[in-house]
Structure 1
Amino acid sequence: MKQLKLTRILSFTSFAESTAWNRPAIPLLISLIFGILIGNARPGSIVVISIAAILTMCSILLSIIRKRPAIVSPVLLFLFLGYLSIQPWKETNLPSSHVIHHADEKKKIIAGIVLTAPVSENHRSRFTLETKTIGHGKNQSHITGKLRVTVSGEIPDLRAGDAVALKGKIRPIRNFNNPGGFDYRSHMAFSGVHAGIYTRGDQLQILEHGQIIKPFLIIESLQKTISNHMDRSISGEPQQILKALLLGDRFAVSDDLRESFNRSGVAHILAISGLHIGIIASAAFFLFTGILSRFSFLLWKARVQKTAALLSILPILFYGLLAGMSPSTQRAVIMVILFLMTFPMEKEHELINTISLAALLILVCFPPALFSISFQLSFSAVLSIVYGLSKIDLSPADRPNRWKAFRRKFLLFFLVSFFATVGTMPIVLYYFNQISLIGLFSNLIAIPAIGFIVLPLGFLSIMLLPASPVLSSLCIQGCDFVLSLTIDIIHFLADLPFAAIKTITPSILEICCIYILYGCLLNLIGRKPAQENLQDSPLRKKTVQLITGITIVILTADVLYWVHTRFLHDDLRVHILDVGQGNAALLEIPNGHTMLIDGGGFANNAIFDMGERVVAPFLWNKKIGTIDTVFLSHPNSDHMNGLIFIARYFHVKTFCSTDDQASSQSFLELQQTISEKGIHHPSFQELPAIQEINGVTIQILYPERSLDGSKDQQTDLNNNSLVLKITFKDRSFLFPGDVMATGEKELVANHGRGIQSTVLVAPHHGSKTSSSTSFLNTVDPEYIVISCGWKNRFGMPHQTVLNRYADLGCRVYRTDEDGCVSMTTDGTTINSN
């Protein structure tokens, strides 16, 4: 019996006995994926591709009529269909009635239907609104399209389906346009959202409740009932985890707890996916099997497992709906249901086929799912597990005993965790730039405790709630006990200094090479089941070895390219980043020395951390993990707040600034981080006025120093900005921070033509309080770069200043229009983007 069970398990995971072409879902899926990718990268050729698709369908019909096999035609058809399927989400010419055409600087009254339940975080709530009308009274008109609504402060008790009216400014969804940055605009476009609106709670009014389909209203009511029951039964971090596990409320988890789960490598437990659905499905299947096996007529007709599989679909669907049916949950539900359906259909359990079919169904229904992080992680994990286990011989020993059986089960559990971790690692590095070094060990604790104890017990508490709230509370108390112990262990592991490390971003080429090498190594060194060894041929081994060798050569060339690009270049590269209304610039000095001048930032890092979301991804994309020198011009949030993350997670050697102090919490946090990380932070008096690094001269021109070496103090932080001039042979760059007219006057008086520069970063974002005529004439730049936010509330750059720049006859770049401005110079000429 045990031998039969293990044989069935191996049959689930083994797909080496037949090729992908014997499973039509696999080539069709691959073809559809390539079609979607091509359609996303090169949209617009709808007519040509449609004609090609029609001709291909005719070819398939002709093959059917002639009773001939059609092998290539279906693959081509799915390639064309994949291209066409993504086109509606790439459409840029939206209808004239779309809300995006009303985006301007005027506040508008918008009415519509709430599509998603509000999600609250950091005193803000967000939801999606299906717009209906704009304006009021005689000026009211009908509009279409979705809005991403952000509400500050308290909001009414909103539910999906409510009709609401609100007032605010409509703004198109925009990106921070830097290499390596997250494409937020495409992400929202895939959800059908092209614009957003910001409003206050007192400017939002509910017009009518309950314009929603009744079943969804029942689910929402049930979610609130269960949530309130949890609030009465437990509190603190266990409550947060339980809500995430049972209700899909990941926003209930605090940032600190989430970071601990991330660092310990068990964050996947917080997102309801295949693990959770699989556990519920297994528990339901074995429960129904045990109950139905007592009915003899089902046993006689061998229908116990068939009926149990069908009945197990009900709790799976209920759990998925209760958890909100997020994309990862939807994929898991589809995959598990397809697997369960193989029982009544009496099909062989072939996981690779089930996985491919599930992915195919998801992409046919919603092509943009391909670009979802959760989609990529889910399927890479499952495919890695299935393929990895197919290369491991897990046959039972000739003389099995309890110890050997336990050891085999433990090995299987460890291998599942190992293959899932390895299979998702390249994608995790690409999106999150972090590796948990203790993830395998942490999962050995977290998955059994949370997955096999807390999740089933918590689900049981939900089932018991209508009949016996007392028993339901007891189950929740049991969850509380197990979760408290587990969370304490996770916090301890996460606090270890070696728990996790931040990494550079791998390129798409590198990710492909890593996956190819991973598959080849499994084929070459994996212990294969005996039946697979019989099929191995010298030609197959040589082919795998050849692919391995070619991949290693490509990876080696890639490494050499990046070593040369990063450390062996002989030019000066200057990048002024798009950080909105702020400043941040990266300098790549010859032979790999890196310098960061300011880090951008918004007033509250809890709402948006510029260092984490914008500056760090740009640096990681350029394979930079070490910053030799950081300069902070002055401690205002739009220059300083992004540096907190950089100081904490990058290897910063020296931090340079004036001695100005600020009373903000961000300034104190930055100082504390510099101290904790042991970053060298000389006083302003200790900073050299001029130094040379690899042929590049760095001058501190301002603030002026007194005879005792200290700086002359100004009352305004902007006028105390650190002004740097970077010179490489005949070319130079001037970074004046937020210095204003008073400071500019001193610079001209004290340095004269010494401030003349080829490139000027506009002082104070192009404010009318800076860029005085005498200062501009003295600098006499060929290029001016304005770092500012798109249509910012300060009106920068001011038109008067733009006119002065035009009078100079120099070329002007703006980060709000041009994105990141990159310039490269050999000391004689300058190349700019």
Structure 2
Amino acid sequence: MAGILSGSICPDGKTFIFPAFYFLSILICLSLYSYKKLFIFLILGLVFCSGYLLIQTRLSSDLPLHHISNYLDTKKIKLTGRVISFKKHHKIKYSTIVLIQSIETIGDTKKKATGKIILNIYGLSKTGPEFGDIIIFESSIKSIRNFMNPGAFDYQRFLKLKGIYGTAYSDTKKIKILTQPDQVNVFLKLIRKIEDLRTRYYDFISIHAKDSKSSTIIASLVTGKKEIISQDLRDLFSKAGISHLLAISGLHLSIVSLLFFNLFYRILSFSPSLTNSGRAKKIAGILSIFPLTGYAVFSGFSPSTQRAFIMIIVLLFSFVSEKEKDIVSSLSVAGIIILTLDPAALFSISFQLSFMAVIFIVAGVSVLKKYFLLQKTSVIAKMGLMLCITLFASLGTFPLTAHYFNIVSIIALLSNVIFIPVIGFIILPLGLISFVCFSFSPVFSILIINVCIQILSVSISILNFIISIPFSWSRVATLQWYEIAAIYLVFILIFLSLKGRKKLLPFIVFIIFLLVIVSFSTDRFQNSSNSNLKITIIDVGQGNSALIQTPEGKTILVDGGGFSDASSFDTGKFIVAPFLWQKGIWSLDYVILTHPESDHLNGLIFILANFAVQTLIKNHDRKNSESYVNLMRLCKKVNIRIWTPSTRADQLNLGPIKLIFYESPNEKFSYGYNNNSLVFKLIYNKFSMLFPGDILNNREKNLSNNTDINLDSNILLSPHHGSTTSSTKVFLDKIKPGIVIISCGRHNRYGFPHDKVLKRYKKFGIQIFRTDTDGAIFISSDGKHFSTKTHMVK
């Protein structure tokens, strides 16, 4: 672990690690003859170097010239590749991973190529590509892009660790399959049969189940297709602290192995010789591996399933070899195997959560043993043990869930106690039985599915009731590394105290004290810097979103970004909210919606639902869209005040900060959603910035011709993302900005910002910042002077 972490943080290439590797190897050989006490330390050093090298092979940028990364963000090219993954089904498409073999550019010859990409396939067809197929398709390859904001998830690195460097799009009818029937070997036939069964069972449930939410849970538990579960259902389970039940994990594999172990053991128990010799349990343990392997492969054998599978297999072998009491060694062996096969697993959230849960369970049970709390074998005692195990796992994982998901479930213990038996020991076995029966006895399978749906419907209703209880769950700001370390050190302190090991306690208390000082000093630094006005233009891709923080502590969010209504990507959930939580913000005094178009509105729905928002400021426009209706319904539900500035002018005073809203068309004289945008100017003594929304040239002309208003500003947020229909000469001449900030998506289909507009800005001597190249843009002002910085350092 130390080697992998070091290799990830401090990449070195070949200058240091290879000489160290060879030097240690020589010393190990010498120590066998003379200094045997140093042997173990030298071995640890060699293991460290191995971990360093393993992760470097994943993160290395020394890719061959014919690698697919050299053809990113270009025009369409013809690609040939092999499908190497199962399909992931989404609403209007499915995706798979393709290993590229060759490319052919227009008017060029065929070239060898290598590298993995994600291929998104639209359209339904029974003749679509399957696992192992060689396919030809045309597509431009889009590079993997991060949203460049502080604390944002590094999606590019996440996929790079998997060896994936781009994404492509195609229609199923435009994909040509080259694989011939005689080229499909036995292994491919088996894999395809499994994939076909998964898809047919998923379709079977989708057709016959009336309750879509419950049916997706059943399909996910049996087939591993967790991508089909709706975001609302995921959020519900997260708030209840049982989101781990929706994905195939160690819990599910443990339950499957336990069920089959008991089945095989009961059958073998009919033989007295096997029972008396103790071989019945060992044979049952070995036999359990086969159905466990079948379930793991059938469920898609995802990375999390692979890690859980390795862990269970190691534990089964330790049981068979009568070393089941040495759980720490078994856990260590599983970790070594997992990290050797996939060093990037160390950075996987599921890996961290799984191992932390097991470590806390082992430590907690050892404390119970010390105080003789495991001596009783009654039903009540066993129930108490299960309750304690759930508590230990919840305690071990809550700092990580708070860090990664910004949520703490107070009722997680209760939810796990209720729903682990329901989903693990009722729904999962029944789902597997329905799968076995659906091909030859569909009526019986449907009957079982309906029973599961009834149970799950009641369970979902109970969950909705539980999370509605005040303080049952809470959103939290992102925990920093030193805060997580302090929490785990407190747990270690308690554990050592209960175990009677007091030698290290003073040292641990001292480290905790230092971490608390770091935490408070960081908070003081942030608070002391609040004497300045802070404005952050957030990188939300093709859209707008900005955060204003006043010297007196007021927070204002202007728009929330958003993709089209057909997109499943929630800008508010995955970009804006994590940015706010990373800054320690969980309440907003004002949210301003400049106009109800998707690229400004859609991200606000999650924000209003998960942050304490006092007031929503919007224009007169209403839109008959699902997003706008949901936004208004949400305001009413959580009692958010709605304020609409007057059509002539209105002003919001926030201490030394003023927001002046300029004239906007009223309901009778609408010029369209973009032109009706709220236009406001932020003034802080001598500093000013204009937020014009997505207004077009005719609205710019009306504002420029109005002699009663002063548009002059230091900074301009580019209207309509730098389109040719905005940023007219007369408008720029009226504002006289020194800086313009363009919020736009990289390589967006609209071609924003347009070259003509960029030339116009340069002609006016305006300095240009862009979120697609600079990432988030930070503005700070004391009212006299201001500074501008970017997330991406040039």
Q: TM-score, normalised by structure 2?
A: 0.91
Following superposition of structure 1 onto structure 2, how do residues 782-821 of structure 1 map, counting pairs within 5 Å?
782-821=738-777
Within-5 A mapping of 1:667-686: 667-685=628-646
1:100 aligns with: 69
Residues 432-443 of structure 1 correspond to what in structure 2 (within 5 A)?
Answer: 432-443=405-416
Q: 1:687 to 1:679 in 2, by over 3 A?
A: farther
- Show the counterpart of 2:29: 61
Q: 1:131 to 1:398 in 2, by over 3 A?
A: closer
Task: Provide the residue aligned with 1:28 in structure 2.
Answer: none
Map of 1:195 onto structure 2: 166
Instruction: Determine whether 1:85 maps to 2:54.
Output: yes
Q: Report the equivalent of 1:632.
A: 593
Name the CA distance, whole Å, in 2 between partners of 1:228 and 1:279: 25
How far apart, in 2, do the equivalents of 1:252 and 1:638 lie?
A: 25
Residue 687 of structure 1, CA deviation: 10
In structure 2, the residue matched to 1:374 is: 350
Equivalent-residue separation in structure 2 for 1:711 and 1:725 (angstroms)? 22
* Shift, 1:477, TM fit: 6.0
Counterpart code for 2:747: K
- What is aligned with 1:391? 367
User: CA shift at 1:85, angstroms?
Assistant: 0.8
Aligned residue number for residue 429 of structure 2: 456
2:20 corresponds to which of 32, 48, 52: 52
Q: Which residue of 2 aligns with 1:420?
A: 393
CA distance in 2, matches of 1:398, 1:137: 75
CA deviation string 1:720-768 (max 9, x = no partner): 2222221223222221211222222333332589322222211211112
Which of 326, 331, 336 aligns to 2:302? It is 326
Q: How is 1:774-785 mapped onto 2 (pairs within 5 angstroms)?
A: 774-785=730-741
Partner of 1:14: none
- Which residue does 2:792 correspond to in 1? none
Aligned-pair CA distance for 1:779: 2.2
Q: 1:137 to 1:724 in 2, by over 3 A?
A: closer
Query: Does the C-alpha gap of structure 1 residues 558 and 189 become closer, same or farther in structure 2, counting only changes over 3 Å?
Result: same
What amino acid maps onto 1:48 in structure 2? F
Of the structure 1 ranges 351-360 and 458-467, higher mean CA displacement relative to structure 2 is found in: 458-467
Contact 1:118 1:127 in 2 (8 A): yes
SS of structure 2 residue aligned to 1:755: coil
CA distance in 1, matches of 2:454, 2:757: 64
Partner of 1:603: 564
User: Structure 2 matches for 1:272-671, cutoff 5 A?
Assistant: 272-299=248-275, 301-347=277-323, 349-393=325-369, 405-460=378-433, 479-480=452-453, 482-496=455-469, 498-524=471-497, 526=498, 536=500, 540-541=501-502, 543-555=504-516, 557-559=518-520, 561-562=522-523, 565-566=526-527, 569-604=530-565, 606-671=567-632
- The Cα shift of 1:296 comes to 4.1
Given that residues 611 and 645 in structure 1 are in contact (C-alpha distance below 8 angstroms), is that contact kept between their aligned partners in structure 2? Answer: yes
Query: Residue 657 of structure 2: which of 696, 699, 703 is its match?
Result: 696
* Cα distance between partner residues in 1 of 2:760 and 2:444: 76
Letter in structure 2 aligned against 1:265: G
Q: Which amino acid aligns with 1:282?
A: L
Secondary structure, counterpart of 1:784 in structure 2: strand
Structure 1 residues 493-532: Cα deviation after superposition (integer angstroms, max 9, x where no partner)? 34556443222111122112111112212333x4xxxxx5
Query: What is the rounded CA distance, in whole Å, between the counterparts of 2:224 and 2:570 in structure 1?
Result: 25
Question: Relative to structure 1, is the Cα distance of residues 353 and 466 closer, same or farther in structure 2, using a 3 angstrom cutoff?
Answer: farther
Q: Look up the match of 1:731.
A: 687
Q: Is the 8 A contact 2:621 2:667 kept in 1?
A: no
CA separation of 1:223/1:799 partners in 2, compared to 1, >3 Å: closer, same or farther?
closer
CA contact (8 A) 2:318 2:330 kept: no
Partner of 2:120: 150
Residue type matched to 1:36 in 2?
A: I
DSSP-derived class of the 2:368 partner: coil
CA deviation string 1:187-244 (max 9, x = no partner): 1111211111123344334343675634323433443565566568765344322222
State the SS of the aligned residue for 1:692.
strand
State the distance in 2 between where 1:632 and 1:752 align: 25
In 2, Cα distance between the equivalents of 1:405 and 1:450?
Answer: 24
Q: Structure 2: which 5+ runs fail to align?
A: 790-794
1:681 is paired with a residue of what secondary structure? strand
Q: Which residue of 179, 185, 190 maps to 1:208?
A: 179
Residue by residue, what CA displacement relative to the aligned partner does 1:459-500 show, whole Å, maximum 9, x if unpaired? 455567799878767765654554444344334434556443
Q: How far apart, CA to CA, are the structure 1 residues paired with 2:247 and 2:595?
A: 41
Q: Secondary structure at the match of 1:342?
A: helix
Change (3 A) 1:751 1:73: farther
1:239-258 maps to which residues of 2 (within 5 A)?
239-258=215-234
- 3-state SS of the aligned residue for 1:734? strand
CA contact (8 A) 2:482 2:515 kept: no
- Looking at structure 1, the residues matched to 701 and 436 of structure 2 have their Cα atoms a distance apart, in angstroms, of 75
- CA distance 1:300–1:698, shift in 2 (3 Å): closer
SS of residue matched to 1:581: coil
**Residue of structure 2 in register with 1:19 after alignment:** none
1:687/1:286 CA distance change after superposition, 3 Å: farther
Distance 1:606 1:434 in 2: 24
On the 8 A contact 2:96/2:118 being kept in 1, the answer is yes
Gaps of 5+ in 1: 1-32, 527-531, 705-709
The answer to whether the 8 A contact 2:648-2:664 is kept is no
User: Deviation of residue 52 (structure 1)?
Assistant: 0.8
- Does 2:94 align with 1:134? no
> Using the alignment, how far apart are the partners of 2:455 and 2:658 within structure 1?
60
Separation in 2, partners of 1:63, 1:730: 72
Local SS of the residue matching 1:109: strand
Aligned-pair CA distance for 1:582 = 1.1
> Closer, same or farther in 2 for the Cα pair 1:739/1:234, shift >3 Å?
closer
State the shift of 1:689 in Å: 2.4
Identity %: 35
Cα deviations by residue, 1:237-285 (Å, 9 ceiling, x for unpaired): 4432222222212234334433332222222111111211212222233
Structure 2 Cα separation of the partners of residues 274 and 662 of structure 1: 46
Q: Is the 8 A contact 2:86 2:300 kept in 1?
A: no
CA 741–232 in structure 1, closer or farther in 2 if over 3 Å, else same: closer
Distance (Å, rounded) in 1 between the aligned partners of 2:227 and 2:128 = 17
Specify whether residues 741 and 488 from structure 1 end up closer, same or farther in structure 2 by C-alpha distance, changes over 3 A only. closer
The TM-score with structure 1 as length reference comes to: 0.87
